[in-house]
Amino acid sequence: MDKPDEADLCFPLSNNSCRKIPRNQSEATVIYTLLSSITVITVFLNLLVIVSIAHFRQLHTCTNLLLLSLAVSDFLVGFLQMPFQIFYYHGCWYLGDFACALNNFSSFLVVSASVGNMVLISVDRYIAICDPMLYTSKVTVQRVQLCIFLCWIFSTIHAVWILRDLLGQPDIYNSCIGECVLIVNYAEGVVDLVVTFLAPIIVITYLYLRVFVVAVSQARAMRSQISSITVGPVAVTVQKKETKAAKTLGLLVIIFLLCSCPYYCFTVAADSNLFGASSGEAELWLIYFNSCINPIIYVFCYPWFRKSVKMILTFKIFKTDSCEAKVL
């Protein structure tokens, strides 16, 4: 067997070094530029969402707290996961075994937290549309904060359980120096698939089908009431606002499902040996790309986000009492 060229090795001075994955230089430059741009945009836009909701008091609503939690998980995807994936593009991991384990742990954590936030958003819209008279009594800031806290705690426990062997011995799955791989056995893979994909999809789909049916019936009732002048303009405005919020958050959920399905379908196919494990980069980036799309949806659907971003970029948030500014 020919001895590999030292330039092809991740660690030329090591006898057990991994080989670099050969990449076309011009293709690699384009991919690096594209992925780096997506990473910067993801971090920047989600940071704007976080600052907006955290700074302006008018935005401290139950629904926006859920959006804030989702923005935090999306920010972590852009700040941690995307750079790690770009760094590992040539197949060489230079950061050591501990950083490899941390990378895999944060990946499971933020993806699981994003799924949990989507479920909570669906429940919030379901109550707001299907049971509006009791929404303020059922959905309080304290209860939403508790649900968000439990979502992140559950996501942490889930990630620790899946990666318990890797966290105990970070190099357990590496066959050479410069490798960062994760092997999930069949039973754990099935649990992860059910907990972070199948079960949430069933819950989200059911809730939004109910929301859609109720929203359509309410819209028809509202039109008939308006024609007979039996409902005030305030009630009409509130109902329209809730329906618009349901549509916007429904769009978030639909795009999330579209970005997630290819990754989980690939996972199932890989477990069935239909694809090689190394061919999942595109599917993984697609699920990460969802974190970049979410704040873009806010820009087009939420006037308050556009107003708050304008104040942030013009540094008006540093003025006294800027947190009391009217952005709604």
pLDDT tens by residue, 66-122: 999 999 999 999 999 999 888 888 778 888 888 899 999 998 999 899 889 989 988
Instruction: Return the CATH number at 207.
Output: 1.20.1070.10
The pLDDT > 90 percentage for the chain reads 28
The pLDDT score that the predictor gives to residue 148 is: 96
Residue 38 CA to residue 26 CA, distance in Å, equals 19
Residue 206 CA to residue 27 CA, distance in Å, equals 43
Number of independent structural domains in the chain: 1
Name the residue with higher pLDDT: 277 or 183.
Answer: 183
Domain limits for position 223: 27-324
Q: Is the pLDDT of residue 270 over 80?
A: no
What CA–CA distances, in Å, run from 268 to 119, 164, 277?
A: 22, 21, 11
Both tokens of 204, joined, read 């989200």
Burial, 26: exposed, middle or buried (Cβ in 10 Å; 0-12, 13-18, 19+)?
Answer: exposed
pTM of the shown model:
0.85
Name the residue with higher pLDDT: 241 or 206.
Answer: 206
Q: Phi and psi dihedrals of 37, rounded to 5?
A: -65, -45
pLDDT tens by residue, 272-301: 554 444 456 778 888 888 889 988 887 777
pLDDT tens by residue, 221-263: 666 665 555 555 555 555 565 566 667 667 777 887 888 888 7
Both tokens of 326, joined, read 């009217």
pLDDT tens by residue, 85-100: 888 887 788 888 888 9
Q: Is residue 18 part of a domain?
A: no
Neighbours of 184 (CB within 10 A): 20
Q: Is residue 186 part of a domain?
A: yes
Residue 229 CA to residue 148 CA, distance in Å, equals 41
Residue 58 CA to residue 87 CA, distance in Å, equals 40
What CA–CA distances, in Å, run from 204 to 123, 250, 253, 264?
A: 8, 9, 8, 17
Q: Is residue 10 part of a domain?
A: no
Q: Is residue 22 part of a domain?
A: no
Q: Is the pLDDT of residue 1 over 50?
A: no
Q: Is residue 288 part of a domain?
A: yes
Q: Is residue 111 part of a domain?
A: yes
Q: Is the pLDDT of residue 151 over 60?
A: yes
Residue among 171, 165, 167 at smallest CA distance from 18:
171
Tell me which amino acid residue 170 is: P
Both tokens of 305, joined, read 């986000």
Q: Is residue 3 part of a domain?
A: no
**How many alpha carbons fall within 13 Å on the CB side of residue 298?**
26
pLDDT tens by residue, 300-309: 778 888 899 9
pLDDT band at 219 (very low <50, low <70, confident <90, very high): low
The pLDDT score that the predictor gives to residue 180 is: 87
DSSP secondary-structure letter at 9?
A: B
Residue whose structure tokens are 């056995």: 185
